[in-house]
């Protein structure tokens, strides 16, 4: 007897994109989008499959037809997120103008806070809990990239091309300042009033801040 055809577990390896029907592609995406909404505001344990199903407009058993478990949905979201999380920092170009490069990095992160606030909150939730699911990513990929770029920044400071700053704290400051606008958007909205976009005025302020910090 052939086991009931589940639409591919694919927990590892290549997605085998072509092997999925249009319906699968569409519904998996709908589910991931709904799950991102729910996980990012309620955290993993705070989210329920019923909430996600309601948000997706599907039945709960139907979610579990497309994903093996609640955990699998969450893992998929995190994997997808981490896949692009490093890109802005990776683009920091050793050949470019130091100050312009760092400003551009800050702007890319700020764009991510504006365009992907739910992803930022998903990440924040994960770190707040001690990063149990993404520890190896942070200790390996992220750490090595940060070490590499910190080295680059140190060279820039030693060459006198930017003011002497601690490169690690510089990077952390960019993370803190940009992600704050996504992670703490609720607070900012309540303080500035709902009519403002939380990010109004953020770019000029951060440009001013880093210009003054980095000018030799």
- Which residues in this chain contact a second copy in the complex, by CB under 8 A? 41-46, 121, 124-125, 127-131, 135, 138-139, 142-143, 146, 163, 165-166, 168-170, 172-173, 175-177, 179-181, 183-184, 186-188, 190-192, 201-202, 204-206, 208-209, 212-213, 215
Residue positions counted in the chain = 216
Nearer to a second copy, 101 or 126 (CB): 126
Tokens of 33: 């989008």
187 CB-contact burial (10 Å; exposed 0-12 / middle 13-18 / buried 19+): exposed
Helix axes 22-46, 49-56, angle to 10 degrees: 140
Rounded to a whole number of angstroms, the minimum distance from the CB of residue 112 to a second copy is 15
52 and 34 in contact (C-beta within 8 Å)? yes
Q: Which residues bind DNA (CB under 7 A)?
A: 4-5, 7, 21-24, 27, 47-50, 58-62, 64-65, 68-71
Binding site partner of 69, from DNA, a second copy, none, Cβ cut-off 5-8 A by kind: DNA
Tokens of 102: 């760092």
Binding site partner of 11, from DNA, a second copy, none, Cβ cut-off 5-8 A by kind: none
State the CB neighbour count (10 A cutoff) for residue 209: 13
Nearer to a second copy, 17 or 212 (CB): 212
Binding site partner of 43, from DNA, a second copy, none, Cβ cut-off 5-8 A by kind: a second copy
149 and 92 in contact (C-beta within 8 Å)? yes
The alpha carbon of residue 42 and the mean position of all alpha carbons in its chain are separated, in whole angstroms, by 16
Nearer to a second copy, 10 or 141 (CB): 141
Binding site partner of 41, from a second copy, DNA, none, Cβ cut-off 5-8 A by kind: a second copy
CA-based nearest residue to 120, from 197, 185, 32: 185
Binding site partner of 17, from a second copy, DNA, none, Cβ cut-off 5-8 A by kind: none
């Amino acid at each position: 007897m052939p086991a009931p055809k589940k639409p591919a577990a694919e927990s590892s390896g290549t997605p085998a994109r072509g092997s999925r029907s249009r319906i699968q592609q569409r519904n998996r995406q709908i589910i991931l989008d709904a799950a991102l909404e729910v996980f990012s505001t309620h955290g993993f344990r705070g989210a329920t499959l019923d909430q996600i199903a309601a948000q997706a407009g599907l039945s709960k058993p139907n979610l579990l037809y497309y994903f093996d478990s609640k955990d699998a949905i969450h893992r998929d979201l995190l994997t997808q997120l981490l896949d692009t999380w490093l890109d802005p920092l990776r683009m920091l170009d050793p050949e470019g103008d130091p100050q312009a490069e760092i400003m551009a990095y800050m702007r890319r992160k700020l764009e991510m806070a504006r365009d992907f606030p739910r992803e930022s909150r998903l990440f924040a939730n994960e770190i707040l809990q001690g990063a149990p699911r993404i520890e190896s990513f942070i200790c390996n990929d992220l750490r090595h990239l940060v070490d590499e770029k910190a080295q680059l920044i140190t060279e820039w400071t030693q060459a006198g091309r930017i003011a002497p700053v601690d490169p690690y704290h510089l990077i952390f400051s960019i993370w803190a300042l940009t992600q704050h606008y996504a992670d703490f958007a609720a607070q900012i909205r309540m303080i500035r009033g709902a009519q403002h976009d939380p990010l109004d005025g953020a770019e000029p302020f951060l440009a001013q801040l880093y210009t003054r910090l980095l000018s030799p």
